Structure 1
Amino acid sequence: MITIMNWKQSTVVCLITAFFLIAETVGDDNSKHDDKDESSDEGSMFSALRKSRGNVGFLHAFIASLSMIIVSELGDKTFFIAAIMAMRHSRLIVLAGALGALVAMTVLSALLGYATTIIPRQYTYYVSSILFAVFGFKMLKEAYQMSEDGSQEEYEEAQAEIKKKEDEMNASTQDIETGIIKYNNRGIFYMIFRTVFLEAFVLTFLAEWGDRSQIATIILAAREDVWGVMLGGFLGHAMCTGLAVVGGRIIAQKISARTVTFIGGVVFLLFAFSAFIIRPDSL
């Protein structure tokens, strides 16, 4: 069974939580010294300014989330889970199960990130930039150390997980005494849909939990427009999962996991360095 998250991912999550808690404490201390006599005219001006920048913030969040998901998910374990299951079962059912899990994970991650908006934006913005830099350098290191057969290794690992899960489900559905499953045609369709959908959903959800794309979604939602992050995540997952179920094995043979990981590292570093160009109050 796929582990929920390894110790490195747990460390990153703890780091995110610690930084946000520290930032909240500092923000509370600074708020005590804020000037409470600001005029209503200044408040209206800043409110209008933030509203005019809303569309730009949404678009920036959408593009950032979409690109992050694509470079993170292509050739990832969740990609191969959908690809392998689509070779054995109905593509539509596999797509529904896998995409359902990814949409649920995106919403959950975005809400976790949005919860940090109670912290002053300048803190979450720059802390998230530091974390993106850490992720970027980590991915570049992984790409440098990765063998050319990285995609094949991910494929074989996903295949082993699916085989194990299917063996467990097949054993649980057999009659204890005869070992024969008896149901009508309608029951067959219901059984196939239920088991395949559930298998795709559970395997994808567990594989995605603690993955870099989940943590990156949390970080993005903490610094960007949450609706843009969710919509970009939905579209990115739909594109990657759709490619997986249509021709995942062929695509996997054409795409090098090492190249995708390298590109992902570069994209994450661009997110980090954008903090030096784009100020948090401009989004």
Structure 2
Amino acid sequence: SLMGGGGILSAAPQLSTVLVLLLLCVHSLRRLLECLFKATSPHPVGPIVTENGSIKGNLGFIHAFVASFSVIIVSELGDKTFFIAAIMAMRYNRLTVLAGAMLALGVMTCLSVLFGYATTIIPRIYTYYVSTALFAIFGVRMLREGLKMSPDEGQEELEEVQAEIKKKDEELQRSKLANGAPDVEAGTGTTLPQSKWHRFISPIFIQAFTLTFLAEWGDRSQLATIILAAREDPFGVAVGGTIGHCLCTGLAVLGGRMIAQKISVRTVTIIGGIVFLAFALSALFIKPESGL
């Protein structure tokens, strides 16, 4: 069994290490953004920070958190990264796959937030309305794609991911045979003495991290995170995005095949388009100076 007692114990250090790394990344990002906030010029740029408005600051964080979380959910369910986690979890230890994918998505989210915050050297009024226009464009594009999709859309992407993972599996098996190493990750073979690093960074962990990171780079959810970080509270965007990714990846790992069969990529795409358009329309009622 992939989830046997030995498999869980062997992957537990990886998962705990990843959780610690994610917490350190988010904490470091927060400290970095706080330092950057203090160095910003007096004119309104980027997310609004007020000295006497703790309520406004809290609302800004909540608004950014909800926006980032919801955008990630509608963008990632049935996405390529979702299928990668689902298929790998059916072949290998689930905790190892979850740890590798979570670390990749956490790092990607923090990088995207930093990219988005870098645009705050531009006055906020410009980045606010440019990001609003981009959300509108994304929303219209997703609606068009969703309406043109067939009910069975997503099967091709699933097959593409399966072929890609199968190719990686063959390369991994050839490497193991060449080195005379047993298939420890799947719970077979005799466990040999391992270095401390190999206990935490196994070939499957690296494969899950690499495939997820490359699939996420330039993806719609990454672009949406960058746009949100340019107009919302960046810490709220980072936390909401990370939790959203963890939820989607967790669902993929725990019941990816069942969920992939139940959800409709067409429906999720249409809902995603509506969510993006809703954020764009909200700009008509919220002023850039409000900080929300």
* C-alpha deviation, 1:274, in angstroms: 0.9
The corresponding residue for 1:74 is 77
Q: Which amino acid aligns with 1:208?
A: E
The corresponding residue for 2:191 is 185
Q: Tell me the alpha carbon deviations over residues 93-133 of structure 1, each in whole angstroms, 9 at most, x when there is no partner.
A: 00000011000000000000011111111110000000001
The corresponding residue for 1:57 is 60
Asked if 1:208 is matched to 2:227, the reply is no
Identity level (%): 62
Query: Superposition pairs for residues 107-256 of structure 1, below 5 Å?
Result: 107-175=110-178, 180-181=180-181, 185-187=191-193, 190=198, 194-256=202-264
Q: Which amino acid aligns with 2:172?
A: M
- Kindly report structure 1 stretches of 4+ aligned residues shifted beyond 6 Å: none
Aligned partner (choices 79, 89, 94) of residue 91 of structure 1: 94
Q: CA RMSD, aligned part only?
A: 2.2
Bigger mean CA offset, 164-173 vs 119-128? 164-173
Bigger mean CA offset, 56-65 vs 158-167? 158-167
The 8 Å contact of residues 148 and 258 in structure 1, kept in 2 or not, is answered as: yes
Distance 2:138 2:94 in 1: 33
* C-alpha deviation, 1:53, in angstroms: 1.3
- Give the length in aligned residue pairs: 237
The 8 Å contact of residues 50 and 57 in structure 2, kept in 1 or not, is answered as: no
Distance 1:92 1:187 in 2: 21
The corresponding residue for 2:280 is 272
Q: Which amino acid aligns with 1:129?
A: T
Aligned partner (choices 89, 97, 106) of residue 103 of structure 1: 106
The 8 Å contact of residues 72 and 244 in structure 2, kept in 1 or not, is answered as: yes
Q: Which amino acid aligns with 2:241?
A: G
The 8 Å contact of residues 75 and 154 in structure 1, kept in 2 or not, is answered as: no
CA 1:117 to 1:192, structure 2 compared with 1: closer, same or farther past 3 Å? Answer: closer
The 8 Å contact of residues 65 and 220 in structure 1, kept in 2 or not, is answered as: yes
Q: Tell me the alpha carbon deviations over residues 5-43 of structure 1, each in whole angstroms, 9 at most, x when there is no partner.
A: xxxxxxxxxxxxxxxxxxxxxxx9xx8xxxxxxxxxxxx
* C-alpha deviation, 1:230, in angstroms: 0.3
CA 1:192 to 1:228, structure 2 compared with 1: closer, same or farther past 3 Å? Answer: closer
Max Rg structure: 1
Distance 2:193 2:283 in 1: 56
The 8 Å contact of residues 93 and 193 in structure 1, kept in 2 or not, is answered as: no
TM-score (norm 1): 0.79
Q: Tell me the alpha carbon deviations over residues 38-58 of structure 1, each in whole angstroms, 9 at most, x when there is no partner.
A: xxxxxxxx9445554111110
Q: Tell me the alpha carbon deviations over residues 164-193 of structure 1, each in whole angstroms, 9 at most, x when there is no partner.
A: 1222222233327xxx43695145894896
Asked if 1:257 is matched to 2:254, the reply is no
Distance 1:126 1:50 in 2: 24
Distance 2:193 2:76 in 1: 35
Q: Which amino acid aligns with 1:234?
A: T
Distance 2:194 2:96 in 1: 14
CA 1:114 to 1:244, structure 2 compared with 1: closer, same or farther past 3 Å? Answer: same
Q: Which amino acid aligns with 2:115?
A: L
